[in-house]
Structure 1
Amino acid sequence: MSFTSQSLWLATLLAFVSLTVAIDLSLVDMPMSERHEKWMAQHGRAYKDAEEKAHRFGIFKANAEYVQSVNRAGNRTYRLSLNRFADLTNEEFKASFLGFKPNPLIAKEEQDVEKPFRYANLASVPGAMDWRARGAVTGVKDQDICGCCWAFSAVAAMESIVKLKTGRLMSLSEQEVLDCTGNGMSCEGGTMEAAFSFIARNRGLTTESNYPYTRNQGYCNSRRKSASAATIRGYQEVPRSEAALLNAVANQPVSAGVEGSGIDFQLYGGGLFTGYCGTDLDHAVTVVGYGASARTKYWLVKNSWGSGWGEGGYMRMQRDIGSYGGLCGITLQASYPTA
C-alpha cells in the first residue's frame, strides 16, 4: 500500500469512527424512549403498531444498556454500537443475518477444488496488506434478511481475483449464485465452495447490474445467466492454520467461515475485535487484508451487512491468537477462487 493510499484510508476510517462515536455519545444522556426514536429515524425503522413498537423498544433498551456498559468499562480493544441490529434479540439476528452452513458431504463431492495449496512455500509475505488500497475490492454490499452470506463472500473473492488477473474491477451477481447454484444452497444457508464450483461449471458469472440482488431466492434466469462477464477455473481450500491463511491473503482475498452469531459481533461498532466467539461456523466473510495495530495483529474482514455495521462494513479481527482455528474459527473453512 502506498503512503498516500494508506493515509487516505486511515483518514477516512478515523472520520467514520469519529462520526459514529459522536452519534452514539450524543444519545447516551437522552431518555431511552427518545434514543429509540432517534435510532428509528436514523435507520428508517417503522413498526406496524404500538404493540410491536413497545416490544422492539424493550429489546432496544436491553441492547442499549449492554452497549453502554461495555463501552464505559473500556476494557476491550473494540467498541459496540447501536447499529441497525439494535432492536433485534440475538436469536432473531442469528435467524436472519447469518447463513453459512458447512456441509462436508457437498465439499467432498465437489470436483473443482485444485491441489496442492499453491501458496504453501512462499519465501516471504508483506508485513501488511489491504487489497482495497490496491483497487481490488468492490464496495460493501448488503445481504439483508436473506441468509446468503456464502454467496456474497464467494462473489467478493471472485471480484478481486478477476481484478488481479484482468485489471477490471466489476461488481458481479450474488443473485445468480443464489438462484442457480442448487444443491440446497439458499437463503437458509450454503457454502462458498459450492458457489465457486457452480461458477466454474457455469463458465462464469454475470454482472450485478444484469442480474441484480432481490433479497430473496428466485428461479434461475437462464437468459441473464448466459451473459457471463468473468470466469474462474475452480477453487482451492486453505489449510487450517493462520500461517497458511496469511500466505493466501498476501496474494488474493479469501472467503472464510466464522462464528458471527455472538452479541458482540452483532453490535460491533469498531476497533480491533478480540471476542467473544467460538468456532461454530455460521457466517461467511471475505478476508481482504491484514496488519497490526499497536502490538496486536489483525485480519481485515469485509462483511455483507452494509456500510453501517462495524468500520464502514469491515471488521478488524485479532490474528495469531495461538489456538486452533484462529479467532471465531476463521481458518477452519477458508477457500479462494482460481483464475
Structure 2
Amino acid sequence: MDSKTICLFFLFVLAAISSLTESRKSFQEASLLARQHDEWMGQYGRVYENDVERQERFNIFKENIAHIESFNRAADKPYKLGVNQFADLTNEEFKARNGYRTRLESKVTSKSLFKYKNNSFIPSKVDWRNEGVVTPVKNQGTCGCCWAFSAVAAMEGITMIKTGQLMSLSEQELIDCDVNGPNKGCRGGYMNSAFDFIQNNDGLTTESNYPYVESSGTCNNLNLVSAATITGHEDVPTNDEKALQKAVAKQPVSVAMDAGNSNFRFYSSGVYTGECGTDLNHAVTAVGYGVDDNGTKYWLIKNSWGTSWGEEGYIRMERFIEAKEGLCGIAMIASYPTA
C-alpha cells in the first residue's frame, strides 16, 4: 500500500469517526430535548391527545428552545428569555389566547376628563406593590380574558387607596356577567366596558365569593354582595407616556399592548426593550415605574400569566422611547377607574 493510499485511508477513517461523533452528538441532543420536553410537560400539566400531536408539539418546543438559547447566547440585550408555559405554542396560537379586542376599543373609548393632567408631584420611581396596593399575580390560563384581569387589578388598586383595604376581586363575575355589551368572556373584551359594567352593577364581589374557573359560564351574582365599587373611569391621553406616568404615580392603570412577539412571550428578566409593534392584543396593568442600575427607565407591569412567567409574573418595559405610542404601544390606550 503506497503512501497516497494510506493517507486516503486515514482521511476516510477520520471522516467516518467525525460523522459518527456528530451523529452521536445529535442523538444525545435530541434525547436531552426529549427529556426536557417530558419534564416541561410534567411541570405544566401538559397532556396531548395522541402521539401525532405530541410529535407536532415537540417540534414546536424544539424550535422555541433553539430561539431562546440563541437569543441568550448573543447577550446584546438588557433582558433574558426563559422556558415557560408557552413553549409548545406557535406565535399565532399564542396571540390568539390573550383576549384583548382592539377594534372595538377604538369605537367606544370614552371622551372623559384626565384629572391628573395638572399633577405636579411626580416621583422618580413608583412601585405600588411596596404600598400594599397590589394583590398577588393571578393566572388567566387558556381563557382569553386578559381584559378582565387588567380591569380588576386596576380596581383592586384604587379600592385599597380609597379604603385602606386590599382585597382580591372577582374576574369571573366580569367574565360571566358582563355579556350584554362587546365583552365576550373568554373570547375577548376590553377594560372600559368592564369599568362601565362594574359601575352599573354597583361593584364587584370578591374572588373567594365568585372564584375564577378559567372558562365562561352563566352569571351567578344575584345573591352576592358587592365588596368594592367605582364611580366611573377616565382615559389617559393617547400616545403620551408623560401623561401615563402622571396617572401611574397616583394609581395602578389598565393598559393595552402588543404582546405577540416571541421575545415578549419568553421574557424572563431584565428591562424589556423590544422587539414589538403596536398591534394591541393583550391587556395588563401598570403598577409602577423606575430606573434600573444601567439608567434605563422602565414601566413596571403586572401580567396575568402566573408567577412562572417573567419576573415572578411582572415585566419591566423600557419607558420614554422615541415612538410616541410607547414600547409595544403601551401608551396608546390606557384607562383607570375612579373612586
Residue 231 and residue 102 in structure 1: after superposition, are their counterparts in 2 closer, same or farther (change >3 A)? farther
Q: Compute the TM-score of the two structures, normalised by the length of structure 1.
A: 0.87
Contact (CA 8 Å) 1:101, 1:189: kept in 2 or not? no
Equivalent runs, 1:240-279 vs 2, <5 Å: 240=238, 241-279=240-278
Q: Compute the TM-score of the two structures, normalised by the length of structure 2.
A: 0.87
Inter-partner Cα distance in structure 2 for 1:297 and 1:102:
30
The letter for the 2-side match of 1:155 is V
The letter for the 2-side match of 1:249 is V
- 1:227 is matched with 225
The letter for the 2-side match of 1:97 is N
The letter for the 1-side match of 2:187 is E
- 2:60 is matched with 59
Inter-partner Cα distance in structure 1 for 2:225 and 2:49:
41
- 1:84 is matched with 85
Which of the two has higher C-alpha Rg?
Answer: 2
Displacement of 1:29 in angstroms is 11
Contact (CA 8 Å) 2:182, 2:193: kept in 1 or not? no
Inter-partner Cα distance in structure 2 for 1:247 and 1:30:
52
Displacement of 1:219 in angstroms is 1.8
The letter for the 2-side match of 1:146 is C
The letter for the 1-side match of 2:152 is V
My pick for the range that moved more, 328-337 or 96-105, is 96-105
Residue 222 and residue 124 in structure 1: after superposition, are their counterparts in 2 closer, same or farther (change >3 A)? closer
1:22-70 C-alpha deviation (Å, 9 max, x unpaired) = xxxxxx9972112212222222222222222111110100000000000
Contact (CA 8 Å) 2:290, 2:300: kept in 1 or not? yes
Q: Does 1:159 align with 2:160?
A: no
Inter-partner Cα distance in structure 1 for 2:106 and 2:237:
18
Contact (CA 8 Å) 1:83, 1:267: kept in 2 or not? yes
Gap runs ≥5 in structure 2:
1-28
* Residue in structure 2 matching 1:239, options 237, 240, 243: 237
1:132-155 C-alpha deviation (Å, 9 max, x unpaired) = 011000011111111110010000
Inter-partner Cα distance in structure 1 for 2:75 and 2:278:
25
**Across the two proteins, how many residue pairs are aligned to each other?**
307
Inter-partner Cα distance in structure 2 for 1:68 and 1:105:
38
Which SS does the other structure have where 2:287 is aligned? Answer: strand
- Aligned-residue Cα RMSD (Å) equals 1.6
Inter-partner Cα distance in structure 2 for 1:154 and 1:100:
14
Gap runs ≥5 in structure 1:
1-27
Inter-partner Cα distance in structure 2 for 1:221 and 1:31:
48
- 1:185 is matched with 183
Equivalent runs, 1:1-339 vs 2, <5 Å: 31-104=32-105, 107-108=108-109, 114-115=112-113, 117-182=114-179, 183-186=181-184, 187-224=186-223, 226-240=224-238, 241-293=240-292, 294-339=294-339
Inter-partner Cα distance in structure 2 for 1:217 and 1:114:
30
Inter-partner Cα distance in structure 2 for 1:105 and 1:128:
31
Inter-partner Cα distance in structure 2 for 1:280 and 1:97:
13
Inter-partner Cα distance in structure 2 for 1:214 and 1:196:
21
The letter for the 2-side match of 1:326 is G
Contact (CA 8 Å) 1:176, 1:220: kept in 2 or not? yes
Contact (CA 8 Å) 1:289, 1:300: kept in 2 or not? yes
